[in-house]
Structure formats: structure tokens, C-alpha cells
Amino acid sequence: MSDKSHDPNQMTGAAMIVRALIDHGVQHIFGYPGGAVLPIYDEIFQQTEMQHILVRHEQGAGHAAEGYARSTGKPGVVLVTSGPGATNMVTPLADALMDSIPLVCITGQVPTHLIGNDAFQECDTVGITRPCTKHNWLVRNVNDLAKVLHEAFYVATSGRPGPVVVDVPKDVQFATGTYHPPRKSDVHVSYAPRVKGDAMQIRKAVALLASAKRPIIYSGGGVVNSGPEASKLLRELVEITGFPITSTLMGLGAYPASGKNWLGMLGMHGTYEANMAMHDCDVMLCVGARFDDRITGRTDAFSPGSKKIHIDIDPSSINKNIRVDIPIIGDCGDVLGDILQVFKAEAKKPDIKGWWSEIATWRARKSLAYKPNRDVIMPQYAIQRLFELTRGRDTYITTEVGQHQMWAAQFYGFEEPHRWMTSGGLGTMGYGLPAAIGVQVAHPDSLVIDIGGDASVQMTMQEMSTAVQFDLPVKIFILNNSYMGMVRQWQQLLHGNRLSHSYSEALPDFVKLAEAYGGVGLQVSKPADLDGAILEMISVKKPVLFDCRVAALENCFPMIPSGKAHNEMILPTEAADPAAFFASGKALV
């Protein structure tokens, strides 16, 4: 026997995978076993450093890992089998790519000699996941495995974060090879994301900011991704410049909702003041956002009179939708730090009193107002009460996708980054429940609430079983109106009020459903009972399905209709007579 047999770095591919995860500090992994990953599951069984969370569907594992990643800043790790295991992961991968969430997904694959043979549970995983990952690898040789795994972690977490897939055939998991711990040379030399912003561009940006009469800061998810330091710097910049600030859906919490310069979220369902300020500003500082179509409205009428500064770590985000005047490629945190330094040294706070008084008149329109109701719970009221009663607690919020998501963004005040997990880019219904599970795994003692809708939440309801199995007391707060509310809203606005398949004729009894899973079910339909029920939900130390029966036909305003600019929003007061409003729906576009 050679000395090699005693080399501790000699191990099977399956052991290497577990070892690499541990070397990267992974404490939790979300997954589902199957034929092509059994050797890895065997290794997981024989160790104690990392906990495996068994989900009920691979999509749940993916979203849980996203919630885990978004709430911790660490990569989320997923392990699924070949074929259907991998295809079920496609939605979370696409979701994570759109929202720049770092995920490392390990998929099993049929043995190398069977690849291409239409073997049992075979699919072209790298082919299928190529357009929905930042990068992916098929590892054919066990001696490449360590390098690929280390590179996978680096690629997922550096630059603009994103999901990666490492596809490992079963024979490679069984084969013995040499492992090495992470080292610098494990990374493609062709991959070197730029972190530091160009000094000249930063000087130009500061000069422009200092000369602004009607400035606005428009921040996004990139600030959150950059880490807590970036949010601190953003707050400092707002403080020393005195500028108003708005944020995308993904960026909520980077600047506190209670901050005096906060205008609320912008975009399709953003506040009137935020969108009007975007439209009329003369200098726009975009930090870690990407001028998405839900933000810009009509691009040819987007903020027509402004000079635009755009900070982004991904050069392909620059000039994609909107032409900007001063692009700065770099990490938000780094660039904000440099801007602050130059601003403090060379510029002084511009006088923008006139701009603030203009903003005050827009604020006075109270664009988030809704008609209170004493008999029926208004969905906005439910979110407001949830916010008030969880205020000051250590709370994390996830959402599904639809009206409830927009109401959550409008009415729940986020004070800190990493507290808000939502599917922004892909708009994945069914994201919130598994994401809440991932958040709760990372923060076992915190209050984790999924604000859901009755339709979305049923898409991944099976994960209640995961929550019960792992004692994860997630709270599923369902705004139940029996409709796919956002679909219905668009049908009312754009399709002549023909409500094609947007009503759920048969909903489960959510209370009984919760009990069937071993959780707790609560139901409330009167505004007077709401507070008590929310407090009960908070105090229960088990997973809760909270069936909050809300006004069935309420719609989400304000709203920028399609084909319109920021200054052509529909306000709730204008939408007060739904019949008249919807009758003219067709004419709106």
C-alpha cells in the first residue's frame, strides 16, 4: 500500500462535497434525497457539523435557501437529486438569479457512462439550468471536484451574487480522489468582478450631487446585498446631503422607513411622492438598482429632466433600460464610502428647501390612503396592525407574490436591511412560506412572518410539514380574499372586468389544514378581533396558519398603469368609484 491510503485528503467525491461545505462554514443545508445523491446523504448521516433540513418538494428547498441567504448574507445551500429533483429547482434558481441571491445548489446526476442515454431520472441539468444560474458545472472527474466546489462558493457570493449549480454524477461521488481546502487558484482567472469605483467618476458624481436643486436617491437590492456596512453608508449619505430617498421593492430596509427623508417605495405601486420626485428631479443617484420595468414605467418618459448617476457592480446593468450620465462600476458599499469621503472633503449640503416643499405637496395627497371599514378587515389595515403589534420585536418578513406583497411593501415599515424577503424580479408565487422556513432556520429565536395570499400560499403549502418537523414556528399570515387579487385587479383594469379564472371557488379550511399538519390555525374576519388574534399568533410557539379574511374586492393603489409615466399615476381617491373607474379601464391604455 502506498502512503496515499493514509492521506487525510484522499476521500470519495461524496465525502469531498460534505467536507467542502463544512470548510465554507455551511451550517444548514436544504434538500431532498434521491437515487443520484444517496452517497452524499450517507456522508451527511455520518457527521454532525452541518444540519440538513428535509423539505417536502425541491422548490421548497430552493426558496428556503434563498430566505436563509437573504436574511444572513451567507450563501444558501441546496442538495437535490438528478432529473425531477433538478428540474424542480429551476424556479428557485431563476428567482435567485433575478434577485441576485447567492445559492450553491448541488445536484446528483446519473453515472457518467449513462449520461446522454436517457437513463432513469436523467436530465441535462447543466443545459436546463444554464440560463438560470450565474454559472454551472458538470464534474466528470473526482479530482476536479474540490476546485469546482470552492469556485462555486466564490462565484455565488462575489461580484453580483447569484445561484450556481454543481452537477455531480453518481460514479464521481463514489470515486476516490484528492481533496484540497479552498485556495485562491480555485477560481477562473477570467472572473474578476470590479469592486472599487473609478475615482474620476466618483468626483464627477459628487460635483453633480452638490450642484443639485431637486435631487433624489433611488436605492435597490444591491445595497442590501453589499452587506450592513453599505446600508450604514447610505444612511450617512442621506444625512449629510439632506436628499430625499426612495427605494425599490428589493431595497426596503436599507434606509429606515421611519427616517425623515424617506419617500416610500417607488414604481408601479410606489407612493405618489416617490414617483413624482423621480419624474421631476434634476439629479438622480441610483445605488444598486437596475431600472426595472416595474420601476421606470414608460422609459421614454422616465425622469426626462434629470442627470443620472448609476452605481452597480454589474456593468451589464448600466444603460440597459435607461441611459445614464455617470456610470460607476463597483460594489455599492465601496463606492458609497468613496462618495461620502469626497463629498465631506469638497462639497457642502446644497440648499434644497424648495424641493422639499414641493415634495410636501405630493405627500399631502396621501397616496396610500384607503377607506377604513368597521365591519370588514381592509387588507391594508391588517398589515398596519401586524406592523404595529410586531414593532420593536426581532421580526423578519417574507411574502408571496401579488396584492398582499405590495400592501406589505407599502404598509410594513422596515427599519433594517436583511429583514425583508420577497420575490421581486421573477415574482414567484409560493416563495414566502419556504423562504420563511429558511429564515427561521437561520434565526431560530426571531419572529418570522410570511405575509401571504390565499392563492400563492397554496403553491408551496406542503412545506408546513417541514416547519412542523423541524420545530420552526413560522407564522403564515394569509390575506384571504378568495381571489388571485392582482390577477383580478389587472382583469378589472385591462380586460373589461372579465374575471377569467382568478376566483378560487374551493379554498381549504386553513384552520383545519394547519391542524392536520400539526400546526395551529387561527381565523379572523372582524376588525375588532384582529389585534387579539395577531397577539395570539405571535405568542404561539408553533407554525401558524393565520386565515385573515379581508375585503374581497379591494385593489392595490396607487398604481402606474401600463404605458404611462410616473406623473400619470392612479391615486386611490381617483379610483374611489370602482365601477366608473373600471368602466374606463380599457381607455386607460
Active site residues: 58, 120-121, 170, 486
d(CA 387, CA 196): 38
d(CA 418, CA 10): 39
Of 117, 319, 573, 584, the residue at the interface with other proteins (CB under 8 A) is 319
Contact status, residue 280 vs residue 567, Cβ threshold 8 Å:
yes
Of 387, 470, 490, 503, the residue at the interface with other proteins (CB under 8 A) is 490
Piece of 78-86, 123-131, 440-448, 499-507 that binds other proteins (CB under 8 A) = 123-131
- Site membership for other proteins, residue 529 (CB under 8 A): no
Place of cell 445605488: 287
Minimum CB separation from other proteins for residue 138, in Å?
A: 7
- Site membership for other proteins, residue 130 (CB under 8 A): yes
Minimum CB separation from other proteins for residue 335, in Å?
A: 18
- Site membership for other proteins, residue 298 (CB under 8 A): yes
- Site membership for other proteins, residue 526 (CB under 8 A): no
Of 116, 131, 444, 532, the residue at the interface with other proteins (CB under 8 A) is 131
Minimum CB separation from other proteins for residue 314, in Å?
A: 6
Please identify, using beta-carbon distances, which residue of 317 and 410 lies nearer to other proteins: 317
- Site membership for other proteins, residue 495 (CB under 8 A): yes
Please identify, using beta-carbon distances, which residue of 31 and 161 lies nearer to other proteins: 161
d(CA 541, CA 363): 40
Among the listed residues 430, 442, 409, the one whose alpha carbon sits nearest the alpha carbon of residue 69:
442
For 402-438, give the DSSP string.
SHHHHHHHHHS---STTSEE---SS--TT-HHHHHHH
- Site membership for other proteins, residue 470 (CB under 8 A): no
Piece of 84-92, 122-130, 357-365, 520-528 that binds other proteins (CB under 8 A) = 122-130
341 Cβ contact list (under 8 Å, min separation 6):
none
Q: How many residues bind other proteins (CB under 8 A)?
A: 33
Among the listed residues 214, 192, 172, the one whose alpha carbon sits nearest the alpha carbon of residue 11:
172
Among the listed residues 229, 271, 281, the one whose alpha carbon sits nearest the alpha carbon of residue 247:
271
Minimum CB separation from other proteins for residue 12, in Å?
A: 23
d(CA 95, CA 62): 9
Among the listed residues 57, 351, 350, 55, the one whose alpha carbon sits nearest the alpha carbon of residue 207:
350
Of 5, 48, 190, 500, the residue at the interface with other proteins (CB under 8 A) is 190
Of 185, 316, 357, 539, the residue at the interface with other proteins (CB under 8 A) is 316
Q: What single-letter amino acid sits at 149?
A: L
Minimum CB separation from other proteins for residue 569, in Å?
A: 14
**Bridge partners, residue 478, by sequence:** 452, 547
Q: Which three cell numbers stand for residue 117?
A: 442515454
Q: Please give the helix or strand (H or E) that residue 240 lies within, else none.
A: helix 228-241
Minimum CB separation from other proteins for residue 195, in Å?
A: 14
In the DSSP assignment, the letter for residue 197 is: P
- Site membership for other proteins, residue 50 (CB under 8 A): no
Backbone dihedral angles phi then psi of residue 166, each to the nearest 5 degrees: -115, 115
Piece of 128-136, 245-253, 458-466, 505-513 that binds other proteins (CB under 8 A) = 128-136
Of 155, 324, 435, 439, the residue at the interface with other proteins (CB under 8 A) is 155
Minimum CB separation from other proteins for residue 372, in Å?
A: 30
**Buried b or exposed e, range 197-225, using 16+ CB within 10 angstroms:** bbeebbeebbebbbebebbbbbbbbbbbb
Please identify, using beta-carbon distances, which residue of 117 and 211 lies nearer to other proteins: 117
**Buried b or exposed e, range 460-469, using 16+ CB within 10 angstroms:** bbbbbbbbbe
Degrees to nearest 5, angle at CA 368 with 366 and 374: 105
Contact status, residue 494 vs residue 584, Cβ threshold 8 Å:
no
Among the listed residues 192, 204, 164, 193, the one whose alpha carbon sits nearest the alpha carbon of residue 75:
164
- Site membership for other proteins, residue 120 (CB under 8 A): no
- Site membership for other proteins, residue 147 (CB under 8 A): no
Contact status, residue 151 vs residue 186, Cβ threshold 8 Å:
yes
Minimum CB separation from other proteins for residue 189, in Å?
A: 8
Piece of 200-208, 211-219, 220-228, 311-319 that binds other proteins (CB under 8 A) = 311-319
Minimum CB separation from other proteins for residue 110, in Å?
A: 17
Place of cell 462555486: 152
Helix (H/G/I), strand (E/B), else coil: 289: coil
- Site membership for other proteins, residue 141 (CB under 8 A): no
- Site membership for other proteins, residue 363 (CB under 8 A): no
Piece of 73-81, 132-140, 238-246, 384-392 that binds other proteins (CB under 8 A) = 132-140
Of 191, 388, 512, 518, the residue at the interface with other proteins (CB under 8 A) is 191
d(CA 589, CA 203): 43
Of 22, 576, 580, 589, the residue at the interface with other proteins (CB under 8 A) is 589
Please identify, using beta-carbon distances, which residue of 57 and 160 lies nearer to other proteins: 160
Please identify, using beta-carbon distances, which residue of 64 and 156 lies nearer to other proteins: 156
Please identify, using beta-carbon distances, which residue of 129 and 231 lies nearer to other proteins: 129
Among the listed residues 109, 97, 169, 80, the one whose alpha carbon sits nearest the alpha carbon of residue 135:
97
Question: Which residues form the interface with other proteins (CB under 8 A)?
Answer: 126-127, 130-131, 134-135, 138, 155, 160, 188-191, 293, 296-300, 314-316, 318-320, 323, 490, 494-495, 562-563, 586, 589
